[in-house]
Amino acid sequence: MNERSGKRLRLLVAGALLAGHVANYAIQALLGHLHPIGFLRELLGSGKVDDHELFQMLLLAANLALGPALISGRGNLMLGAGSMFLILAHAWVGVRVVPDPLTSGAALVVNILVLYVGTRLSERLPAKHLAAFAASYFALFFIFVEIKWGFLIPALKGRTGMGNAEPLFLLFVMGLCACARSWRLLAWFWAVTVSFTFLQPYAWESAVVLCFIVAALFGARGALRSPTALVFLGVGLALAGLVLFPVVAAIMGESPQNLGNILGDERIQKAVGRTLVTATASTLFLVALAVPLAYALARLHFPGRSLLLAAIDVPIVIPQSVAGLALVRVFGAGQPLGGVIENVFGVRFDGTLWGVCLAQVFVAMPFIVKAALAAFESVPVELELSARTLGASPWNAFRRVALPLASRGIFLGAVLAWARAAGEFGALLFIASNSEVETAPVLAWNLFGSVGSAQAGPLVAVLLGFSLAMFFLLQLATRTLPRPAVAQNADATAAAQRAEATA
C-alpha cells in the first residue's frame, strides 16, 4: 500500500468511527438519554455531575482526540482504529452490559490492553499464538460472563451464577495478557484458572496437581522427545493426578493447628512409632531371607520354579481380609501350628507385635523378592564366571560382584516392602487390632469408627504426609547406590560409539 492510499484509508476508517460516535451521542441526546447542556451547567455550577453523563462525555472526548491523531498519520492504524471502535462500542452498549460506569471504564481499559497484546502477537509471533490468545479470551468470557448473564445461552443464566463475575473476568483477562507470549506461561495460567473456577472447594489442592502436570510436560527432556511421547506423558500424568488428588486434598485440607494437636497426642505418637519399628523389623527380616531366594531364582532352574514365582505373587492378589483370616487360622493361638510355636518358643501372634510383623511380612514379601530377582537378572552371569576363573569363591563372587551391582534394585524393593508393611491394615484387623499394638493405619480406622471422618481427618493428613516423606527420602537414598549392570553396559556402549564416531 502506497503512502497516499494509507492516508486515504486512515481518513476513511478514523473518520467513520468518529462520525459514528458523534452520531451516537447526538441520537442519545435527542432521545433524552443524555443531557449535554445540563451536564455542562452542573459541571460549571456545583461541580457534581451524573456518573453516566460524565462517562459518556469522556468516551466522546477520547475518540475526538484519537480520530484526528490517526488521520494525521500518527500511531498504528490497527491499534488506533480498534481502540476507537472499542470506545464507540462501550458508549453504545457497554453501559447496558456492565452494572456501572466504573466497571465499564475498567472493562474498556482491559479490552484495549487485549487489543494491544493481540496486535503485538500478530506482529512478532506465529499466528497460532494469536489464535490461542483469542480462544482463551472467549473462554474466559464464557466462564465469567456468559454463564452468569446468559447472553448467548439463556438456559445457563442463574444455574451456575458467579458473584462478582465482571471484576473477576477483568482480573483474569489481565493475567491472560501477561502470559500470552509463552505457551508455558499460558499453560500455567489455565492451570490456575481451572483450579479456582471449576474445582472449588479444592482450588489450592487442584492447583498443586495441575501445576505439577504443566511443569512436567514443559520440562520433559530426552533423546526421544516427540509429540507422541509428550501425549503419552500427559495421559499418564492425568491418571497420576486423578489418583493422587485425594492424597493432596487430605494433606492440604487440614489447618496447621489441627495437625499440631494430632502430633502432640501420645496415643498417635505411640502408633506411629510402633509402625516404624514393626515395618523396619519386617523389612530387615525379608531382606535377610528374600534376597538369597531371589539370587537363587535368578541363577538356577529347577522343577516347580514357575509355580514358585506365581505363588510369590499370591499376597498381592488376595484380599487383605482373606490374608488376615488365613494367618489367624494357621498361626492363631487355638490352631495347631500357632499353639506349637507358642508352647515351644513362647511366641504368640494373636494381639501382639509378633502378629503385626507376621502380617507385614506376608503382604510385603512379593515386592522385595520380585525387585531383587529383576536386579540379579540384570547382572550378567559372565561377570560372576569371570570372577570365579580369577580365583574368587562362589560366595565372594556373589558378595563382591552380583550383590553390589544389584544393590540399587534390592534397595528399591526394600523401600517398596517397607512402605507396604507400614501401610498394612486389612490383615491386622484380624490378627492384631487391639489398642495395645495398633499401628497407625489401624488407629486411623478406630478413630474413624468412634469419632467420624471430621475428627480423623487430621490424623489421616499426618499419616499421609509422614508416609510420603519417608518414602521419598528412601527413594532419594537409592541414587547413592550403583546403577544396574544393564544400564552401566548401555552407558559404556554409548560412550564407545560416541568416541568411535568422533575418531
State residue 357's pLDDT score. 94
DSSP-derived 3-state class of residue 160: coil
118 DSSP 8-state letter: H
The rounded distance, in Å, linking the Cα atoms of 61 and 43 is 16
Please say whether the beta carbons of 11 and 71 come within 8 A. Answer: yes
The predicted-structure confidence for 108-151, as pLDDT tens digits, reads as follows: 899 899 999 999 999 899 999 999 999 999 999 888 876 655 45
pLDDT at 495 over 80: no
The rounded distance, in Å, linking the Cα atoms of 161 and 70 is 41
Q: What is the pLDDT confidence band of residue 105, given thresholds at 50, 70 and 90? A: confident
State residue 498's pLDDT score. 43
DSSP-derived 3-state class of residue 307: helix
Please say whether the beta carbons of 414 and 396 come within 8 A. Answer: no
State residue 98's pLDDT score. 64
State residue 137's pLDDT score. 92
Q: Is 197 exposed, middle or buried (0-12, 13-18, 19+ CB in 10 A)?
A: middle
The predicted-structure confidence for 245-297, as pLDDT tens digits, reads as follows: 888 888 887 777 777 777 787 888 888 899 999 999 999 999 999 999 999 99
Please say whether the beta carbons of 140 and 192 come within 8 A. Answer: no
Report CA Rg, the chain.
36
378 DSSP 8-state letter: T
pLDDT at 48 over 70: yes
Tell how far CA 107 is from the center of its chain: 33
Q: What is the pLDDT confidence band of residue 455, given thresholds at 50, 70 and 90? A: low
DSSP-derived 3-state class of residue 481: coil
Please say whether the beta carbons of 338 and 331 come within 8 A. Answer: yes
Neighbours of 395 (CB within 10 A): 8
Neighbours of 173 (CB within 10 A): 21
State residue 172's pLDDT score. 93
Q: Which parts of 90-226 fold into alpha helices (H)?
A: 95-97, 101-124, 127-141, 147-149, 165-179, 183-197, 203-218
**The three three-digit cell numbers of residue 101, written as one number:** 460506569
The rounded distance, in Å, linking the Cα atoms of 400 and 266 is 46
Tell how far CA 441 is from the center of its chain: 26
State residue 482's pLDDT score. 61
Please say whether the beta carbons of 364 and 287 come within 8 A. Answer: no
pLDDT at 159 over 90: no
Average pLDDT of 160-175? 76
Query: Does the bond joining 68 to the residue before it have cis omega, within 30 degrees of 0?
Result: no
The predicted-structure confidence for 321-339, as pLDDT tens digits, reads as follows: 899 899 999 998 888 888 8
Domains and CATH numbers, the chain: 3-194 (no CATH), 195-253 (no CATH), 259-502 (1.10.3720.10)
Neighbours of 430 (CB within 10 A): 21
pLDDT at 500 over 50: no
pLDDT at 488 over 60: no
Q: What is the pLDDT confidence band of residue 483, given thresholds at 50, 70 and 90? A: low
Average pLDDT of 369-373? 94
**The three three-digit cell numbers of residue 464, written as one number:** 499421609
State residue 296's pLDDT score. 95
The predicted-structure confidence for 211-254, as pLDDT tens digits, reads as follows: 999 999 999 888 778 889 999 999 999 999 998 888 888 888 77
The rounded distance, in Å, linking the Cα atoms of 195 and 358 is 44
Contacts of 426 (CB under 8 A, 6+ apart): 319, 320, 321, 323, 324
Calculate the average pLDDT of the chain: 84
Query: Residue 54: what residue type?
Result: L
Predicted TM-score (pTM) of the model is: 0.70
% pLDDT > 70, the chain: 88
CA atoms within 13 A on the CB side of 11: 6
The rounded distance, in Å, linking the Cα atoms of 278 and 442 is 13
pLDDT at 450 over 80: no
Q: What is the dihedral of CA 119, 122, 127, 131, to 10 degrees?
A: -10
255 DSSP 8-state letter: -
Query: Residue 368: what residue type?
Result: I
For the ranges 74-83, 89-98, 229-238, 479-488, the maximum mean pLDDT occurs at 229-238
**The three three-digit cell numbers of residue 407, written as one number:** 544393590
The rounded distance, in Å, linking the Cα atoms of 303 and 180 is 66
